[in-house]
Amino acid sequence: MPPRALRAYRGARGRWDRNDPLFDVDAEPGGPLALLYESVTHLPGYFTYDDTVAFSLLMATQNISGVSGDVLEIGSYHGRSTVIIAQHVKRGERLIVCDTFEEATEDTYPDPPSPDGLRRTLSRFAPDMGGTLEIHACRSDEMNLDGASLRFVHIDGGHSHDVALHDLRLSAAHLAPHGIIAVDDYKHPAWREVTTAVDAFLDESGFHVLADVNRWAESGRKLYLTSSGSDTSHTA
């Protein structure tokens, strides 16, 4: 069955799969984002092709617009999203990754990742990353971001209200002018406290929603947040 027909057929029957082909990736010429995403679908994770397109577009636009700063990911799992992010990290910038890895937390996943495994994944799929990699194997409230100025943040960490709100406040406190925070699992029926945390953050801060994106085969939405001013003035 052609890939597009397969995607439609599975969707109609309620058999969603985030790794279903979106189009014929063997067509000539193959789209670079499609091929990149196809290369990492074997990695466990919940990052979709829709996310790949949005992250790539936003970070590439920052790059050509002269927006600079470090990049933070809270919750990398096995690095599917980290690989996509790494493609856009420039020389002189840091890719800062925070994940509990094998440490026991409120959220449990099969086959937990390891820092060494993440390094190997990035060495294989993002060998030309211009910046440096900094891994924090800890909870986000144990991470030291002193001196960091973040242009892009991906939050997909703990799903309780307090943890999600902490991660948003921490990211906002270090966000560079024209920076963007991407937060996962908004309106996800299994992670309702993420939604309450995001709503509380928006109510208390000067941030607004840049984009609210539904994603193929995922119950939660990805929100992209930004501030209209360069003074974030939030306490982590």
Domains and CATH numbers, the chain: 47-227 (3.40.50.150)
pLDDT, tens digit only, all 236 positions of the chain: 444 443 443 444 455 555 665 555 565 556 888 889 999 999 998 899 999 999 999 999 999 999 999 999 999 999 999 999 999 999 999 999 999 998 877 777 778 899 999 999 999 999 999 999 999 999 999 999 999 999 999 999 999 999 999 999 999 999 999 999 999 999 999 999 999 999 999 999 999 999 999 887 777 899 999 997 644 433 33
Tokens of 87: 């493609």
What is the C-alpha to C-alpha distance for residues 133 and 41, in angstroms, rounded to an integer? Answer: 22
**What are the CA-CA distances from residue 82 to residues 44, 156, 157, 176, 203 (Å)?**
12, 11, 13, 20, 29
Q: What is the biggest distance separating any 2 CA atoms in the chain, rounded to whole angstroms? A: 54
Specify the pTM: 0.85
Q: Is 85 helix (H, G, I), strand (E, B) or coil?
A: helix
* E strand map for the chain: 70-74, 94-99, 132-137, 150-155, 175-186, 207-213, 221-227
Q: Which region, left, alpha or beta, applies to residue 77 given φ > 0 means left and ψ of -120 to 50 means alpha?
A: left
What element of type H or E holds 165? helix 161-173
